[in-house]
Amino acid sequence: MNIHQQRQLLDLSVSLNSLVQVREKIGAQFFDLSRLSLLAEEAGADCISLYVDESNWSSLAMNVEQLARQVINTFELEVAASDFMLKHLETIPVTHVCLVDVDASNAAQYVALDLEQNFSQVQSFVKQLQARGIYVSAFISPTPAAIAAVAELRISRVRLDCSSYVEVAEDSQRAHALAQIQTALTNCVGRGMVVGIEGKFDSAQVQALATISDISQFHLNELVVAHSLQCGWESAIRNIKASLVKSRLNRRADGG
């Protein structure tokens, strides 16, 4: 499949991270991550993702192994480039890893990869994972420097951090952030990369962004959980996926 064909697809990646955080805060063991991931795939999710680091590995290691063996489409593990994770990735059959950085203010969350500060460490980490046959992607800021660094690492799949677009209050600021994302998309696709986006989007933002043909994947976390409180886990995923496809098809019908 060439890059033009890949750009015609629009995948939905569903994160389990919010569910994990709720489970750990309230101690509720009824969150069966394996069953939830199965239901998500049945409802249309193309990818299931989960963030792990040294602080939560002991409580999630069994879940990670189950998900790695069970998920039919793609199971992607979000990790920081550390010796700890490199060691533990040897013990589980994970085939897809997305590189992130740990949020210094909250270890339960991650932020975009800082390649300016950690390039050599990340480069070594990537080479070792790729040597094991693991597909590596990266969560990055939509900046020329970050994109160039990822290209140097020979990473061909990225997620763009869209927090600047989501968090601004003024329309003029949002338009500027959107222009930055569109420039980054053009830059990435021009380098042969497959590009997804991630952010705390609302439904209207998802529908608007889905019309941009260079976007191949939406990575959603909070929106799925918020919708599931209203209509249930499977229905939320099914409705969001349908909305994505409808927005993309409408754009094509309009000649986009």
What are the pLDDT digits (tens) for 163-193?
A: 999 998 888 898 999 999 999 999 999 999 9
pTM above 0.85, yes or no: yes
- What pLDDT digit, counting tens, does each position of 203-220 carry? 999 999 999 999 999 999
Please, what sign has the CA dihedral across residues 36, 45, 177, 147? Answer: positive
Instruction: Determine phi and psi for 210, rounding to 5 degrees.
Output: -65, -15
Instruction: Determine phi and psi for 197, rounding to 5 degrees.
Output: -130, 155
Share of the chain above pLDDT 70, in %: 93
Please report, for residues 74, 111, 160, 187, 240, the alpha-carbon distance to residue 104 in angstroms, rounded to integers and kept in the order given.
Answer: 28, 9, 20, 29, 31
Q: How far apart are CA 77 and CA 15, in angstroms?
A: 10
Please report, for residues 141, 142, 146, 170, the alpha-carbon distance to residue 173 in angstroms, rounded to integers and kept in the order given.
Answer: 17, 15, 21, 5
Angle between helices 57-70 and 33-42 (to 10 degrees): 40
Residue 169 CB-half CA count within 13 A = 0
Number of neighbouring beta carbons within 10 Å of residue 93: 10
pLDDT(28) > 70: no
Q: How far apart are CA 222 and CA 57, in angstroms?
A: 22
- What pLDDT digit, counting tens, does each position of 48-61 carry? 999 999 989 998 99
Greater confidence (196 vs 59) lies with 196
Number of neighbouring beta carbons within 10 Å of residue 57: 14
Instruction: Determine phi and psi for 190, rounding to 5 degrees.
Output: -65, -25
Share of the chain above pLDDT 90, in %: 76
* pLDDT value of position 169: 82
Measured in Å, how far apart are the chain's first and last C-alpha atoms? 21
**Mean pLDDT value across the chain:** 91
* pLDDT value of position 253: 65
